[in-house]
Amino acid sequence: MTSQSEAQYKVFLITGGASGLGAEYAKIFLQLGAKNVAILDIAEAVGKTFVASLNEKYPGKAMFIKCDVSKEDEIKTAFQQVLDANKRIDVIINNAGVGNDSLHQWRTASEVNWQGVVSFTLKGMEHMRKDKGGAGGTIINVSSIAALCKCAPFPIYGGAKLAVLHFGQTISLPPFFDNTGVRILTICFGGTLTPMVENILEQSMEKKLGETFLKTAVELTAFQRVDSAVTAFVKMFQEGEPGSIWLSINNKPGIDITSDINQAFDEFKMKWIL
């Protein structure tokens, strides 16, 4: 698994990569020797500007593809474009996310946060899996602390992120990695100071609940720095075992919480199922 934990010479596909954490992943993995990073995002102008800046520093190592991950036809087209340009994809980072539980946006947000993740994961698996002639690879799915606690203002977002977590741990059950060589990793971020937290009250299901949530979060200094989140992400990439689940919160080092998640599931199974 050593080769999978190294960025050098690898082709990365990053959804939601034009800004925020996605853009930081692109920069750090190019610093670590990535062969190419494909930035997929709905924000075309921002994405093209960002990729141009990357190519100034790393000539020819970045590309931008406009892609709305809530739309399957755009996912298919973008995935094929990355393959056509690079002949392979070694790492997929399902970073695109929408934290919006409002009455007018929740469905699109759910398609981005859940169905887009599943679509890119399945396409990546089919391309990478060694039992079908691929070279193996890593797929990283971004969940959230909202998957691990009851966050009243964002029940739809939390539900989608819990689905992402459960999908990653379940699809990775042995002998998945031994058969395919595909390493699935999941990371749960606590509140992080990215554009996603802007206008958070308007994005919640109910404004009063959002106000209470925001007040509590500020009091607990729950919003971590972007650089801390990126450091935790890289730690997971370099150290994460197949199927592992990681936590990044409160500017602490990345924490492997797989055993805690497994224990919770095992205790429930022992008490109620077996």
Task: Catalogue the active-site residues.
Answer: 157
Beta bridge partners of 141: 94, 186
Q: CB count, 10 Å around CB of 27?
A: 17
Q: Which burial class, exposed, middle or buried, applies to 54 when counting CB atoms under 10 A from its CB (0-12, 13-18, 19+)?
A: buried
Rounded Cα distance between 237 and 230, Å, is 11
Q: Where are the alpha helices (H) located in the chain, listed in sequence order?
A: 20-31, 44-57, 72-86, 106-110, 116-128, 155-171, 176-180, 200-203, 207-219, 226-239, 258-268
- Distance from the Cα of residue 179 to its chain's centroid: 23
8 A C-beta contact, residue 8 and residue 33? yes
CB atoms within 10 A of CB 168: 23
d(CA 140, CA 143): 10
Torsion-angle region of 8 (φ positive above 0: left; ψ -120 to 50: alpha; else: beta): beta
Strand partners, 62: 37
- Residue 224 per-residue DSSP state: B
* Phi, then psi, of 6 in degrees rounded to 5: -115, 140
Give the span between the Cα atoms of 273 and 260, in whole angstroms.
19
